[in-house]
Structure 1
Amino acid sequence: MKHSVKLHRTLAATAVLALPLALAACGGDDEGGGGTELTLAHSYAEDQPQHTCGAEVIKQEVEDADVDLSVEIYANSQLGGDADRIASVQSGDIDIDIQGASALAAAYEPVGVVDAAYAFEDAAALDNYFTSDAADQLKEDFKAASDVSILGAWSAGARQFTANDPIREPEDLEGLRMRFPGSPQFLLNAEALGAEATEVAYEELYLALQQGVVEGQENPIVNIDATNLVEVQDYLSLSSHAQNSNLIVASPAFDDLSDEQRTAVEDAVASAVEQMPGCVEEAEQETLDTWESEDAIEIVDDVDVDAFSEQADAWFRDNLEGDSLAVYESIKDSQE
């Protein structure tokens, strides 16, 4: 059953903001309707690469395609947190969303495996997977389970450890209270890496580190910088233990667009996917250079990545089951 695009909907589920979603009827037959406005939501700040090189590129290229489409961006979780927004995408209240795979697991659990520790060797491996036939089964199964389309994916940077002691090998995590996000996949990552996971909300992380509630955490460099965690941590250990995935997903209303409009959106997403690695790398290098010049945090670059990776791989192969194991194996096989 197809879902029609609604006119001037409001996001009733979350009382955070009752913003109008001006979605006109799709297609070019509505001569006076002014076209179709798509809502694009994400949780990132407007100076982060996910917005500047992701959301804004999609908006610009969709509108430049001149196919009777416009895009309105809602950044900074204006339309709700990740867990809320995937439900809104499924219902059609949000048209396009930029989400981490772990959050999307609420709609289809196996997709969370994309965020498994050391699933991908680097950002290019994640990009290659999602642009190859290897990811077709995952995309099809996700669509069947959620009615939501995966249009593309990029890495928003590798996740790194910070703590008040250097972390060079798995044994260094023993006894440390490490903050991991509360999603199932990130908690599995903690087990696979040998960490003692403590759940703390992202917004409360700085204070939790400052007060010693947790002793360390893991995040991409751009997130560590955005939340000023170098003020309350002594060491950044470059473990690169997971690619911080962003999947660009579209509501069921995407299927109701014309062929020309769908192609314009897909091409815009592909352009953003192509630009993202360079944007992230530039932002990360600028941040690292600033930290080094200001002696803000000691950077540990001799992490035994092989030891962490081998431990995590063995753990996942022993503990994942069914479709989740199949996704993990397809990711690994795509890199051989």
Structure 2
Amino acid sequence: MKKTIALFVVGMMSLVLAACGGNGEEANGQSGDGGKIKIVAAHNQTSPENPYQIGMEEFKKAAESSDANIEVEVHAGTLGTSESELVEKLKLGGADVVLVSPGFMSKTGIKEIDLFALPYVFDSYDHWEKVVDGEIGNQMADIINKKSNNDFKLLGYWTAGVRHYYGKKPLNSLEDIEGLKYRTQTSGAVANYWEETGAVPTSVAWGELYQALQQGVVDAAENAYPYFVQQNHHKTENGKYITETGHDYTTRFLLINGKKFDSYTEEQKQAVMDAAKAAVKKEREALYTQEEEYKQKAIDEGAEVNQIDRQPFIDLAKPIQDKTAEEVGVTDMLEKIREMK
């Protein structure tokens, strides 16, 4: 009888140890002892051809091919198509790695990142890469980590392309945009800029924009070729005229939950950083290639593309850049960015 009771106690203890992660792998995917970790990576785009998805798949491939015992689960829009949802999930542990834009990150209280979203702060991809891959990019990464109390750790800078105007009529001068209901940010420096042009910033969810253009809820929108062409916005009456304003060489932040990252072994940390580096390279390559591909696709399918003198737009942006930089305390960084052009 005593032997039976002893065996029962040992068995129960084994079950308890297993439930508590006694096998070296914690239930929440964290591990500090080399056990297998699962990383949930998410972005808000649903197209399998999107550069976001291509970059995330490269992150998965590189992380899982390491010797660090890592599994990556990629979600393309399935954890939410709203970036604010993804930021919240990252903070609360519903996702481990997410991709978000400056506009949504600034809502977390990290106002300095608005610098990277200001119209015409960058004038080419070469300029953008020099900034984000250099001293200023490192400085911004430190700001994100410290101001979020380590909720967010930057793994790398991705791009969502160079954004252009598209609408129900082409722009031949700055005056042509006046009065247009324009789908863009409706608060902050970006909204202030478009209000200065005379446009009326209007809020429409990305997933509802095709219908909004088709039904005349908005007169125009702005985005990069791979994004709006993949969604067929150029096939609507209010999206067929594309004017290459080139107002935003976009920055996207690849973030990991910093506290969870700190729980990994040194080998796992290095594997994640190496995978992020590979993903940055792959995502940028995909985007740069798709810029031309989808521009041509838009033209082939009936869209009309025209160039415009950007200088009046650039001149209008400068005082807004200065004011925003002063308000968020990054005037020195803005000056350095300008010097790198």
TM-score calculated relative to the size of structure 1: 0.84
Partner SS state of residue 74, structure 1: strand
1:311 matches 2:316: yes
Once the two structures are aligned, what percentage of the paired residues are identical?
23
Partner SS state of residue 153, structure 1: strand
Q: Is the 8 A contact 1:41 1:74 kept in 2?
A: yes
1:67 matches 2:68: yes
Check 1:58–1:172 CA distance in 2 against 1; reply closer, same or farther (3 A cut): same
Counterpart amino acid of 1:287? Y
Measured in 2, the distance between the counterparts of 1:258 and 1:334 equals 40
Measured in 1, the distance between the counterparts of 2:335 and 2:91 equals 26
Measured in 2, the distance between the counterparts of 1:215 and 1:270 equals 39
How many residue pairs end up in the alignment? 311
Aligned to 2:15: none
Select 1:213's aligned residue among 203, 210, 217.
Answer: 217
Measured in 2, the distance between the counterparts of 1:180 and 1:207 equals 16
Q: Is the 8 A contact 2:120 2:247 kept in 1?
A: yes
Q: Is the 8 A contact 1:117 1:189 kept in 2?
A: yes
Measured in 2, the distance between the counterparts of 1:89 and 1:192 equals 35
1:130 matches 2:124: no
1:271 matches 2:278: yes
Q: Deviations over 1:250-306 (max 9, x none)?
A: 102112212221121112111222233321122222222222233x11111x21122
1:323 matches 2:328: yes
Aligned to 1:203: 207
Measured in 2, the distance between the counterparts of 1:214 and 1:48 equals 24
Matches of residues 79-90 of structure 1 in structure 2 within 5 Å? 79=80, 81-90=82-91
Q: Once the 2 structures are TM-superposed, how far is the Cα of residue 170 of structure 1 from its aligned partner?
A: 2.0
1:113 matches 2:119: no
Counterpart amino acid of 1:84? E
Q: Once the 2 structures are TM-superposed, how far is the Cα of residue 192 of structure 1 from its aligned partner?
A: 5.2
Partner SS state of residue 236, structure 1: strand
Check 1:166–1:80 CA distance in 2 against 1; reply closer, same or farther (3 A cut): closer
Aligned to 1:258: 265
Q: Once the 2 structures are TM-superposed, how far is the Cα of residue 176 of structure 1 from its aligned partner?
A: 1.6
Q: Deviations over 1:30-51 (max 9, x none)?
A: 4xxxx00011011012221111
Select 1:143's aligned residue among 136, 142, 145.
Answer: 145
Q: Once the 2 structures are TM-superposed, how far is the Cα of residue 99 of structure 1 from its aligned partner?
A: 0.9
The higher radius of gyration belongs to: 2
Counterpart amino acid of 2:279? A
Q: Structure 1 stretch 323-332 or stretch 267-276: which is displaced more?
A: 323-332
1:239 matches 2:245: yes
Partner SS state of residue 237, structure 1: strand
Q: Is the 8 A contact 1:126 1:155 kept in 2?
A: no
Q: Is the 8 A contact 2:63 2:275 kept in 1?
A: yes
Cα RMSD for the two superposed structures = 2.4
Q: Deviations over 1:140-168 (max 9, x none)?
A: 22111212111110212111101121113
Gaps of 5+ in 1: 1-6, 9-20
Partner SS state of residue 98, structure 2: strand
Check 1:310–1:87 CA distance in 2 against 1; reply closer, same or farther (3 A cut): same
1:283 matches 2:283: no
Q: Deviations over 1:294-320 (max 9, x none)?
A: 3x11111x2112221222122221354
Partner SS state of residue 156, structure 1: coil
Q: Is the 8 A contact 1:39 1:72 kept in 2?
A: yes
Select 2:169's aligned residue among 152, 161, 165.
Answer: 165
Check 1:276–1:25 CA distance in 2 against 1; reply closer, same or farther (3 A cut): closer
Q: Is the 8 A contact 1:36 1:70 kept in 2?
A: yes
Partner SS state of residue 97, structure 1: strand
Check 1:229–1:128 CA distance in 2 against 1; reply closer, same or farther (3 A cut): same
Gaps of 5+ in 2: 1-19
Q: Once the 2 structures are TM-superposed, how far is the Cα of residue 331 of structure 1 from its aligned partner?
A: 5.9
Q: Once the 2 structures are TM-superposed, how far is the Cα of residue 135 of structure 1 from its aligned partner?
A: 2.4
Q: Once the 2 structures are TM-superposed, how far is the Cα of residue 248 of structure 1 from its aligned partner?
A: 0.3
Counterpart amino acid of 1:123? Y
TM-score calculated relative to the size of structure 2: 0.83
Aligned to 2:42: 41
